[in-house]
C-alpha cells in the first residue's frame, strides 16, 4: 500500500505525521520524502545513507559540424530551450523539458543528449525502516522529474509512506499519483482550510481515497471540521497544540519518543486507513 | 520602485501573516501574492476585484479519435507515458511538448493552448493588489509568478507607488526562482526548528545563487532560542542581515481567524511590537 501525505498549505505537520506514522507501525515500512525542494524527514529519522545517486535529465547538445542551421529544432521546441541564431545554435539547458523533440526533428542527426543535474537521490535505513529522499539541486527549477525518479524506488510488498511537498500543482500531483490513499494534514485556520479545499479537489481529480489529520486542532475555529463533514472526508486523527510537541519538533525529536502514548494513536490511524482502503 | 519579496524555504513559517502586517505598516505600496499555488494573502486583504483575466500558458495534446489510425507512433515518442493504449491523452501527464502533434502522420492531434488559472487586479484597504489562482493540478506556476509580479510593477508605476511587497512561495524550485529575478531584496522568514534551519539554509543559498541581497528574521523565536541563534549566526556568516526576532504569539492565529492583520487585531501585543520593529528597520534599508 502507498499512503501519500499532503496538505496544500505548508508547515501544517506533514513530516511529523509521515515520520511518526512510519516508526509506529509494526510492518515493513518505507518512507519516501518527495518534498525534494525542502526535504525534512531525514532530520527526524536520521537514516544511515548507504547510496547516493546523482539524477540527470537529458538536454540537447548540437554537433555544429553536422548542423545545417535549418532551424527545425527551434520550431518544435515549446520551451524556448533551443534556437538557431545566425550561424549559431543556442541551447538553454535550464529551460529544457527533455522531450527529445529537437533530436527527432533534426534532419542531419546533429543533436545528441547530455545531462543536466536535477539533484541527488539518497537511500538509507534506520532501525529496519527503509528511507529514500531526493534533494533538488539549488538553482534547479524543475522538481517533478526528480520526484518521478524517486517514485521508482517504491518497494513492492511494503507499506510506502510518501511525504509530499506543499501546494497543489505538478510536484504535488507527481507525489500523489498512484497512491492508494492520500492523508491530508491541515490546521483549523482560514489559511489551512483554504488550501485544504484545493488539496481535496486535487485528490478528487486523481480519484484517490482520502482522510484528514487536524493538527493544532484546538487553535483557530471549527470550519475545517464543518467542511470535512460536508465533503465526506473522514477526520482520522486530531493532534492538539502542545508546546512540548512544538519544542520537541524544533529539536528534531519524534513525537512518539517524547510522548510515547502517541504511538498507539498512530497505530490506530494506520488501522483506520487500512479499513478505508480495504 | 523597489520590490521586497518575502520567502521562507519551509512552508508555514508565517510569510503571509508577516506580509499582511507589513501591508498595515507600509505606505505607498502595491501588494502582490506570488504564492499562486496556495494563495492566502487575499484571506486577510479581502480584495475587491477590479480586473479578472484568464492565465493561458502551455499546450495539451488531444487526439481526434475519428482521424487516428492507432499507428502507435505518438505512444512510442511520448516520454511522459501520457497516451493510453486506446490513444487518449492524460492531460495531467501531458507535458505540452508537442512531439506527438508534430509527428502524427495523420494530423490527428490537436494542440490547444491551456487556460490554467486566473489573475486579478484588486483594491484593498491597504492599496492595490495583484494576485492569481493557478488551476488545480496545473503546471506553469513559474510563468504565472512572473506575470503577477510584472502586473504588480505596472500597478506601482501607474499609481506612482514606490514599493512592491510580494508574498513569495515556499520551496526552492520553479515558482520561487520566478519570484526572485529583479527583486531589490528578499526577507527570509525562518522558524527555529531543525527543519526551519535546514530549509532556510537552502533558500539562502538560492538567493545567493541569483545574487539577490537577503535578510532574515526568526519567527516563534522563543520556541527554541538556541536554534534561533544558530540561524542568526549562519546568516551573519553569509552577509545576510539579521532583522529581528518575533516571539510565539497566539494573536497571529486569532488575527487570521478574524481576517485581520496583527496590527489591526492588537497593536500592542508582543508579536505586533516585534513586527513593527522589523518593519522600521526594513523601511530604512529599502530607502537606502
Total domain count, chain B: 2
Q: Are A143 and A173 in contact (CB under 8 A)?
A: no
Which residues, given as ranges, of chain A have pLDDT below 50?
Answer: none
Judged by CB atoms closer than 8 Å, whether chains meet at A191 and B58 is answered as no
Residue B49 and residue B8 share a domain:
yes
A138-147 per-residue burial string, b: 16 or more CB within 10 A, e: under 16: bebbbbbbbb
Query: Which chain B residues touch A40 with a CB distance below 8 Å?
Result: 10, 194-195, 198-199
CATH no. of A2-55+119-277: 3.40.50.300
Interface residue A101 vs chain B (CB under 8 A) = yes
Q: Which residue has the cell 511529523?
A: A16
At residue A105, the pLDDT reads 98
Query: Which chain A residues touch B38 with a CB distance below 8 Å?
Result: 8-10, 166-168, 194-195, 198
Grid coordinates belonging to B174:
520553479
At residue A251, the pLDDT reads 97
Contact partners, residue B72, CB within 8 Å, separation at least 6? none
At residue B66, the pLDDT reads 97
Residue B263 and residue B187 share a domain:
yes
Q: What percent of chain A has pLDDT over 90?
A: 99
Q: Which residue has the cell 529519522?
A: A45
CATH number of A64-109: 3.40.50.970, 1.10.4190.10, 3.40.50.300, 3.30.70.20? Answer: 3.30.70.20
Residue B264 and residue B138 share a domain:
yes
At residue B287, the pLDDT reads 87
Query: Which chain A residues touch B103 with a CB distance below 8 Å?
Result: 104
Q: What count of residues does chain B have?
A: 288
A1-35 per-residue burial string, b: 16 or more CB within 10 A, e: under 16: ebbbbbbbbbbbbbbbbbbbbbbbbeeebbbbbbb
- Mean pLDDT, each 10-residue run in order, chain B (288 residues): 97 97 97 96 98 96 98 98 97 96 98 96 98 89 96 97 97 96 97 97 97 98 98 98 97 97 97 98 91
B160 min Cα distance to partner chain A (Å): 31
What's the burial of B277, exposed, middle or buried (CB within 10 Å: 0-12/13-18/19+)? middle
At residue B140, the pLDDT reads 73
Residue B19 and residue B128 share a domain:
yes
Residue B125 and residue B38 share a domain:
yes
At residue B139, the pLDDT reads 80
Judged by CB atoms closer than 8 Å, whether chains meet at B209 and A252 is answered as no
CA A188 – CA A203 distance, rounded (Å):
19
Residue B185 and residue B146 share a domain:
yes
Residue B182 and residue B76 share a domain:
no
Q: Are B285 and B214 in contact (CB under 8 A)?
A: no
Final residue in a domain of this structure, among B72, B91, B111: B111
ipTM score for this prediction: 0.95
At residue A275, the pLDDT reads 98
- CATH number of residue B7's parent domain: 3.40.50.300
Size of interface A-B (CB pairs under 8 A): 183
Residue B266 and residue B183 share a domain:
yes
Final residue in a domain of this structure, among B111, B126, B149: B111
Give the closest of B92, B171, B205 to A173, CB-based: B92
Judged by CB atoms closer than 8 Å, whether chains meet at A250 and B193 is answered as yes
Domain ranges of chain A: 2-55+119-277, 64-109
Judged by CB atoms closer than 8 Å, whether chains meet at B10 and A9 is answered as no
Q: How far is CA B113 from CA A213, B57, B61, B70, B96, in A?
A: 38, 6, 9, 24, 9
At residue A104, the pLDDT reads 98
Range of the domain at B191: 2-56+117-287
Q: What count of residues does chain A have?
A: 278
- CATH number of residue B90's parent domain: 3.30.70.20
Grid coordinates belonging to B170:
515556499
Amino acid at each position: 500500500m502507498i499512503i501519500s501525505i499532503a496538505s496544500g498549505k505548508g508547515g501544517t505537520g506533514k513530516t511529523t505525521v509521515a515520520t511518526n506514522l512510519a516508526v509506529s507501525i509494526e510492518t515493513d515500512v518505507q518512507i519516501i520524502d518527495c518534498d525534494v525542494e525542502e526535504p525534512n524527514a531525514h532530520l527526524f529519522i536520521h537514516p544511515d545513507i548507504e547510496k547516493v545517486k546523482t539524477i540527470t535529465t537529458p538536454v540537447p547538445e548540437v554537433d555544429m559540424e553536422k548542423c545545417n542551421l535549418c532551424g527545425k529544432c527551434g520550431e518544435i521546441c515549446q520551451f524556448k530551450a533551443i534556437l538557431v541564431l545566425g550561424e549559431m545554435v543556442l541551447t538553454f539547458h535550464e529551460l529544457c523539458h527533455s522531450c527529445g523533440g529537437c533530436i527527432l526533428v533534426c534532419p542531419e542527426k546533429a543533436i545528441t543528449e547530455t545531462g543536466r543535474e536535477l539533484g541527488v537521490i539518497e537511500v538509507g535505513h534506520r532501525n529496519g525502516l527503509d528511507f529514500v529522499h531526493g534533494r533538488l539541486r539549488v538553482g534547479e527549477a524543475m522538481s517533478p522529474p526528480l520526484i518521478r525518479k524517486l517514485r521508482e524506488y517504491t518497494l513492492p510488498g511494503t507499506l510506502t509512506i510518501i511525504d509530499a511537498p506543499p501546494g497543489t500543482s505538478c510536484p504535488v500531483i507527481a507525489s500523489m499519483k498512484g497512491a492508494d490513499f492520500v492523508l491530508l494534514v491541515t490546521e483549523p485556520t482560514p489559511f489551512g482550510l483554504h488550501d485544504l479545499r484545493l488539496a481535496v479537489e486535487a485528490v478528487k481529480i486523481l480519484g484517490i481515497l482520502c482522510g484528514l489529520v487536524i493538527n493544532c486542532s484546538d487553535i483557530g475555529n471549527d470550519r475545517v471540521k464543518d467542511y470535512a463533514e460536508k465533503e465526506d472526508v473522514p477526520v482520522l486523527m486530531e493532534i492538539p497544540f502542545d508546546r512540548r510537541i512544538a519544542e520537541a519538533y524544533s529539536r528534531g525529536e519524534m513525537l512518539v519518543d517524547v510522548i510515547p502514548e502517541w504511538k498507539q494513536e498512530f497505530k490506530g490511524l494506520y488501522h483506520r486507513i487500512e479499513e478505508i482502503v480495504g | 520602485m523597489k520590490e521586497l519579496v518575502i520567502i521562507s524555504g519551509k512552508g508555514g513559517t508565517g510569510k503571509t501573516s508577516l506580509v499582511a502586517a507589513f501591508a498595515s505598516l507600509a505606505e505607498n505600496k502595491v501588494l502582490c501574492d506570488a504564492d499562486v499555488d496556495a494563495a492566502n494573502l487575499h484571506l486577510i486583504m479581502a480584495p475587491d476585484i477590479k480586473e479578472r483575466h484568464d492565465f493561458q500558458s502551455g499546450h495539451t495534446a488531444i487526439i481526434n479519435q475519428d482521424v487516428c489510425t492507432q499507428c502507435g507512433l505518438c505512444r512510442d515518442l511520448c516520454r511522459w507515458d501520457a497516451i493510453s493504449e486506446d490513444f487518449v491523452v492524460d492531460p495531467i501527464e501531458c507535458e505540452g511538448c508537442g512531439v506527438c502533434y508534430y509527428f502524427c502522420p495523420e494530423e490527428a492531434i490537436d494542440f490547444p493552448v491551456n487556460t490554467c488559472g486566473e489573475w486579478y487586479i484588486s483594491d484593498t484597504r491597504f492599496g492595490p493588489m495583484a494576485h492569481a489562482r493557478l488551476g488545480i493540478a496545473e503546471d506553469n506556476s513559474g510563468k504565472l509568478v512572473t506575470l503577477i509580479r510584472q502586473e504588480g510593477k505596472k500597478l506601482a508605476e501607474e499609481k506612482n507607488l514606490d514599493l512592491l511587497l510580494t508574498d513569495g512561495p515556499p520551496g526552492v524550485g520553479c515558482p520561487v526562482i520566478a519570484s526572485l529575478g529583479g527583486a531589490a531584496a528578499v526577507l527570509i522568514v525562518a522558524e527555529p526548528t531543525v527543519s526551519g534551519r535546514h530549509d532556510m539554509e537552502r533558500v539562502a543559498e538560492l538567493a545567493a545563487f541569483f545574487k539577490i541581497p537577503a535578510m532574515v528574521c526568526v519567527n516563534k523565536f522563543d520556541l527554541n532560542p538556541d536554534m534561533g541563534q544558530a540561524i542568526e549566526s549562519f546568516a551573519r556568516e553569509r552577509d545576510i542581515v539579521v532583522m529581528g526576532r518575533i516571539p510565539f504569539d497566539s494573536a497571529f492565529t486569532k488575527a487570521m481567524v478574524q481576517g485581520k492583520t496583527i496590527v489591526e487585531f492588537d497593536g500592542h501585543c508582543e508579536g505586533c511590537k516585534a513586527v513593527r520593529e522589523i518593519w522600521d528597520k526594513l523601511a530604512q534599508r529599502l530607502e537606502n
